[in-house]
Amino acid sequence: MTNGDSGLKALHNPDIPVPEELQSTIAITSLDRIYNWCRARSMWPLLFGLACCAIEMIAAAASRYDISRFGMEVMRPSPRQADLMIVSGTVTKKMVVPIVRIYNQMAEPKYVLAMGACASGGGPFKEGYNVVSGIDKYIPVDVYVPGCPPTPQALIHGFLTLQKKIESQSLRTVPWYRSGESTAVPIPLLGPDIIDPRQADLIRRQAVQAATQAATAPSEA
Ligand code: SF4
């Protein structure tokens, strides 16, 4: 977290000047700015290490890089207490089901950071029979951190990018304060292959079409 003086000065609204001698103790600012300033500097990540990228994520939390400096060190093992899901590592078809389920269990406001080539797009295993081509096919991703693996510095850059995104949001337009029901992300089904329930009608039509073609095709015998 930024120290008191510079943190407070960052909050000042330049349209309403505060005397120099009071700037370390008083800030005049907007509700949006203070709301986002607090949220961005106290993100609690959900521990979700899936493969080698997780080692770099762990290194980012250890003493050499220390994400505590950004208020992000409180890694939570529970979706109830986390507002940032770091998907770090290879996302297999088997694991995407609990990832989406846990994402749905996180309370708003919540964010997702895809760490590394695997989580962002399948990485070196993209063509693998058991790997999904990016977690963004299933849940919304706010920040992508490239690399195989990304360094701890790259992950910290991702955190700072996310902070900028949070600071650009407004209480008046954020989806979680709007009226109406929020809809959960559909949980993929694990069958012979992974199935996205949103594509169920298309899959059904294609299956019927394939069965019809097979029934009407002339026999090779
Ligand atoms: S992106 Fe590279 S380092 Fe990260 S999980 Fe995939 S293979 Fe491992």
How confident is the chain (221 residues) per 10-residue block, as mean pLDDT?
58 80 84 90 88 94 90 86 94 93 94 96 89 93 96 96 94 87 85 76 87 83 54
Helices (H), 23-177: 31-40, 53-61, 93-105, 116-121, 152-167
Atom nearest to 116 CA in ligand 1? 1
Q: Which pLDDT does position 73 carry in this prediction?
A: 79
pLDDT at 117: 96
Protein residue whose Cα sits closest to atom 8 of ligand 1? 52
Residue 1 confidence (pLDDT): 41
Please state, in angstroms and rounded to a whole number, the distance separating the CA atoms of residues 47 and 82.
9
Q: Is 156 helix (H, G, I), strand (E, B) or coil?
A: helix
CA of 69 to the centre of ligand 1 (A): 26
Nearest to 115 by CA among 71, 83, 154: 154
What confidence score (pLDDT) does residue 102 get? 95
Q: How does DSSP classify residue 14?
A: T
The whole-angstrom separation of Cα 23 and Cα 151 is 37
Which residues, at least 6 apart from 152, have a Cβ–Cβ distance to it below 8 Å? Answer: 56, 57, 59, 60, 64, 65
Residue-level pLDDT at 57: 94
Amino acid at the residue 15:
D
> Which residues lie with the beta carbon below 6 Å from any ligand 1 atom?
51-53, 89-90, 116-118, 123-124, 148-149
pLDDT at 4: 47
Residue closest to 87 by CA, chosen among 121, 42, 126, 43: 121
- pLDDT computed for residue 136 by the predictor: 95
Ligand 1 pocket test target in 48, 53, 133, 151 with most atoms within 8 Å of CB: 53
Expressed in angstroms and rounded, the spacing between residue 57 Cα and the centre of ligand 1 is: 12
What pLDDT shows up at residue 7? 67
Which two structure tokens, joined as six digits, stand for 204?
């059904």
Q: Tell me, what's the pLDDT at 5?
A: 52
What's the 153 CA to ligand 1 centre distance in angstroms?
A: 16
What is the distance in A from the centroid of ligand 1 to the CA of 145?
A: 12
Compute the distance from residue 67 Cα to the ligand 1 centre, in Å.
Answer: 21
pTM of the model: 0.83
- Amino acid 119: pLDDT: 96
The 8-class DSSP code of residue 11 comes to H
